[in-house]
Amino acid sequence: MDNIVLRCGQNEIAKMQKYYEVSLLAKNPPGGVFAAKTKDCTITAYKSGKVLFQGSGCETEAKKWREKVAIAPDSHSQKQPSCLLPDGIGSMSVIGSDEVGTGDYFGPITVVAAYVKNGDIPWLKELGVRDSKDLTDDKIIAIARQIKDAVPYSLLILKNEKYNQLQRAGMSQGKMKALLHNQAIQHVLNKIAPIKPDAILIDQFVQANTYYQHLKGQKTIVKDLVYFSTKAEGIHVAVAAASILARYAFVQYFNKLSAAAGFTIPKGAGVQVDQAAAKLIIQQGREALPKFVKLHFANTEKALQLVKKKRS
């Protein structure tokens, strides 16, 4: 491995510049704050907050600034340097984004990007804004109603019919998610302009380079200030707020689907889901399925088998 990227705040970059004062290079690259060269490492800091350490001494040098430098498994490939979050991101003004519904056979995918300015962090935490997976539906509805008018956000719902259409055309779920996240974030940036967030944090569902590959050919690709982390709802409350608003929309949509089915449809992708799908096929015909489910899940085949058994 001979290159490492750290994500740093402007203060930290200023500290670095001072630290490398004697090794500074005369020329900055485009978008650069400073460039410096030690005997075994070149350090380049960019206005975007990215600081690139290159050369055989990159790890030693980067570790001066971070106790732990997370080395991605394939970080020896030049294309995938390890990325770390800026120090203190948890108390910054951040756009967070998260999605719900990708593992549920019934129902859409909902994606929300939400902007939480640092002054709003305390009351949101007080309210109990945390990962929607830890909260009951009732609690989610109660919290969502309190935050939806206070927090600027964008909600995108990928309905089942559209999902099935895209999936049949060969689009992976990962790509659908990438497109939705990118679009939701763009909407929020437009909403809050001219204010800019300190960072944009996506609850990670793929490696960053795969995410950007999915976005190739898009008119706007939000890249500036974007960070990825798993369990991001624990890193910034904006991701937790996004996760709650996404689940709130999912639950509401799910209730509509239950009304259209004429019975309560279950979440997840387990046996009870196969049975519910079989019931739906018997009552409304197979052609009703695409409006309710993600057809390519194995549950479709299982439901059809159950219907066959019942009819024989």
Residue nearest to Mn ion (CB): 203
CB of 66 to Mn ion, least distance (A): 25
Q: Which is nearer to Mn ion, 75 or 173 (CB)?
A: 173
Q: 149: how many CB neighbours lie within 10 A of its CB?
A: 7
Q: Which is nearer to Mn ion, 13 or 179 (CB)?
A: 179
Amino acid at position 46, single letter: Y
d(CA 124, CA 1): 41
* Phi, then psi, of 165 in degrees rounded to 5: -65, -50
Answer whether the bond into residue 194 is a cis peptide, omega within 30°. Answer: yes
59 binds Mn ion (CB under 5 A): no
Distances in Å between the Cα of 265 and the Cα atoms of 130, 259, 277 are 26, 9, 8
Name the one residue in this structure whose structure tokens are 């437009």.
190
Over the range 29-55, which residues count as b (16 or more CB within 10 Å of their CB) and which as e?
A: eeebbbbbeeeebbbbbbeebbbbbbb
CB-CB contact of 99 with 245 (8 Å): no
Distances in Å between the Cα of 130 and the Cα atoms of 87, 114, 122, 143, 224 are 21, 13, 12, 10, 26
Query: Please, is 282 exposed, middle or buried when counting C-beta atoms within 10 Å of its C-beta (0-12, 13-18, 19+)?
Result: middle
Q: Which is nearer to Mn ion, 198 or 203 (CB)?
A: 203
Q: Which is nearer to Mn ion, 213 or 230 (CB)?
A: 230
CB of 101 to Mn ion, least distance (A): 11
CB of 203 to Mn ion, least distance (A): 4
Q: Which stretch binds Mn ion (CB under 5 A): 14-22, 55-63, 203-211, 272-280?
A: 203-211
Q: In this chain, which of 12, 61, 203, 274 binds Mn ion, going by CB under 5 A?
A: 203
CB of 202 to Mn ion, least distance (A): 9
Q: Which is nearer to Mn ion, 7 or 247 (CB)?
A: 247
CB of 258 to Mn ion, least distance (A): 24
Over the range 210-228, which residues count as b (16 or more CB within 10 Å of their CB) and which as e?
A: ebbebbeeeeebbeebbbb
Q: Which is nearer to Mn ion, 81 or 96 (CB)?
A: 96
Q: Which is nearer to Mn ion, 243 or 299 (CB)?
A: 243
CB of 56 to Mn ion, least distance (A): 37
CB of 130 to Mn ion, least distance (A): 13
Binding mask 79-118 for Mn ion (x = CB under 5 A): -------------------x--------------------
What residues make contact with Mn ion under the rule CB under 5 A?
A: 98, 203
